[in-house]
């Protein structure tokens, strides 16, 4: 029998992930040149000088020692779901039950589950742009149309409400909010979140609210919770341990539904079926997550203080560099500068590749975050100031050469 090359289905070609795609390029450069690269592409605090809080680490070790190494329930450990219910009541004033909560392998799996169970091919999801890439590429994988709504750069990248309205069609099923936003660091206040929810209610849509960075906010206490503002509009909220609780590798995420009129009942059942197929989440980390959500969160104040100093330094330095300009991030740990260099006007990915080749600094091209990200790049400001200073000096040198 003749051999033939087996090819994947066309939908696989629609999968892209800019944040890690550029990593492969950088690793090849590092391998060839033997020169150290400063990686500023991935939003992982544990790659820098942040640590999982001690009581969480101890709870993880204890969970393993106590035998929490088995397959867990597909919806998540009951003890963790109960802790999440308590956390949401304490932090957001939300009254939900454990039946409204599913534990997932990070928020990434929650995204996949919602897209798989809530949307049919041809349905449309309104996505803020720039946006975290999996919302776009995963939607396209499932045959869903991610419709990017504009965020207004000159106003700190807040959503354009008029553009949201313009882009709603009879195929639109939901509106996504990412607050604080990845990649821009934008923060929507209560009034703006409520206005987006009202639009969803007006058109019979539901809201997906990604709140993974909710307490990493530099002016104010925390980002507003969409469910607490939703009234009778159905909302699915996404959260997890990765960012605020500094446990990226534990892969603990969760979602819950705020659904007073039970509009999402069938969708919620479909999400559960999706989670049953993948068996269960990571059991010992789930057990330890109880300590995270019910224990001390004293680390947050120090973490935000360190990040505020690094944000302020990075923001100031970028706006001192001729050829670059940026808005001030209000939350998360990303900054999203505009590239004002004619040579790279229509090719931000080439800017990123040339930068890593010439100066050994890795950032992520803005076009990887959607069409409204074109002409920009994303950089984390997670490292200590001395590392950021070295990186920004090299970026400035690169920009001066190319103006």
What is the three-state SS of 247-274?
CHHHCEEEEEEECCCCCCHHHHHHHHHH
| Half-sphere exposure for 52 (CA within 13 Å, toward CB) | 18
pLDDT at 211 over 80: yes
For residue 188, pLDDT over 80 is answered with yes
In a shared domain, residues 176 and 304: no
Residue 269: give its domain's CATH number. 3.40.640.10
Tell whether 91 and 159 lie within a shared domain: yes
Query: Of the candidates 292, 334, 288, 277, which has an alpha carbon nearest to the alpha carbon of residue 311?
Result: 334
Are the CB atoms for 226 and 177 separated by under 8 Å? yes
Q: Which of 294, 313, 338 is the last residue of a domain?
A: 294
For 364, what's the count of Cα atoms within 13 Å in the CB-facing half-sphere?
32
Residue 167 and residue 283 share a domain: yes
Residues 310, 244 share a domain: no
Q: Do 352 and 277 lie in a common domain?
A: no
Cα–Cα–Cα angle for 223, 380, 23, nearest 5°? 130
Position of tokens 């940026």?
326
Sign of CA dihedral 269, 249, 40, 23: negative
% of the chain at pLDDT higher than 70: 99
The reply to whether 253 and 110 lie within a common domain is: yes
Q: Assess if residue 86 is contained within a domain.
A: yes
Residues 233 and 274 in one domain: yes
287 with 311, same domain? no
pLDDT at residue 314, rounded to an integer:
98
The stretch 183-207 carries a mean pLDDT of 98
Same domain, 91 and 23: no
One domain, residues 267 and 319? no
3-state secondary structure of 218: coil
Average pLDDT of the chain, as a whole number: 96
Q: Out of 294, 318, 348, pick the residue that ends a domain.
A: 294
Report if residue 310 sits inside a domain. Answer: yes
pLDDT of residue 345: 84
Last residue of a domain, one of 269, 294, 319: 294
Same domain assignment for residues 181 and 272: yes
Specify the pLDDT at position 212. Answer: 98
d(CA 175, CA 124): 9
Q: Pairing mode, if any, of strands 364-365 and 377-380? A: antiparallel
pLDDT on residue 1: 64
Note the pLDDT tens digit of each residue in 225-258.
999 999 999 999 999 999 999 999 999 999 999 9
pLDDT at 24 over 80: yes
């Amino acid at each position: 029998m003749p051999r033939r090359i087996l090819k994947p289905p066309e939908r696989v070609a629609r999968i892209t992930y800019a944040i890690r795609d550029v990593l492969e390029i950088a690793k090849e450069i590092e391998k060839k040149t033997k020169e150290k690269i400063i990686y500023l592409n991935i939003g992982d605090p544990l790659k820098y000088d942040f640590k999982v809080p001690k009581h969480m680490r101890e709870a993880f070790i204890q969970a393993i020692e106590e035998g929490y190494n088995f397959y867990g329930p597909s919806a998540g450990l009951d003890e963790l779901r109960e802790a999440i219910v308590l956390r949401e009541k304490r932090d957001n004033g939300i009254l939900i039950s454990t039946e409204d909560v599913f534990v997932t392998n990070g928020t990434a799996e929650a995204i996949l589950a919602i897209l798989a169970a809530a949307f049919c091919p041809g349905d449309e999801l309104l996505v803020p742009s720039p946006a975290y890439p999996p919302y776009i590429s995963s939607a396209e994988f499932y045959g869903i149309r991610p419709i990017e709504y504009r965020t207004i750069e000159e106003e700190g990248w807040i959503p354009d409400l008029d553009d949201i309205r313009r882009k709603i069609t009879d195929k639109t099923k939901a509106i996504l909010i990412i607050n604080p936003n990845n990649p821009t660091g934008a923060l929507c206040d209560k009034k703006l979140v409520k206005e987006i929810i009202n639009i969803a209610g007006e058109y019979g849509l539901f809201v997906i609210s990604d709140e993974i960075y909710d307490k990493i906010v530099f002016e104010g206490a925390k980002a507003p919770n969409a469910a607490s503002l939703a009234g009778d509009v159905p909302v699915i909220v996404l959260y997890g341990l990765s960012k605020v609780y500094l446990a990226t590798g534990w892969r603990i995420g969760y979602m819950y539904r705020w659904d007073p009129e039970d509009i999402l009942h069938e969708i919620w059942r479909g999400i559960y079926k999706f989670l049953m197929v993948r068996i269960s989440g990571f059991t010992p980390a789930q057990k330890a997550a109880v300590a995270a959500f019910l224990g001390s969160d004293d680390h947050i104040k120090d973490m935000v203080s360190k990040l505020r100093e690094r944000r302020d330094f990075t923001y100031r330095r970028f706006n001192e560099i001729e050829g670059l300009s940026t808005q001030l991030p209000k939350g998360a740990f990303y900054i999203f500068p505009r590239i004002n260099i004619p040579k790279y006007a229509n090719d931000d990915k080439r800017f990123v590749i040339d930068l890593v080749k010439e100066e050994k600094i890795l950032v992520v091209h803005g076009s990887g975050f959607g069409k409204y990200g074109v002409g920009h790049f994303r950089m984390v400001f997670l490292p200590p100031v001395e590392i950021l200073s070295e990186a920004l000096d090299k970026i400035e040198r690169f920009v001066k050469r190319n103006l």
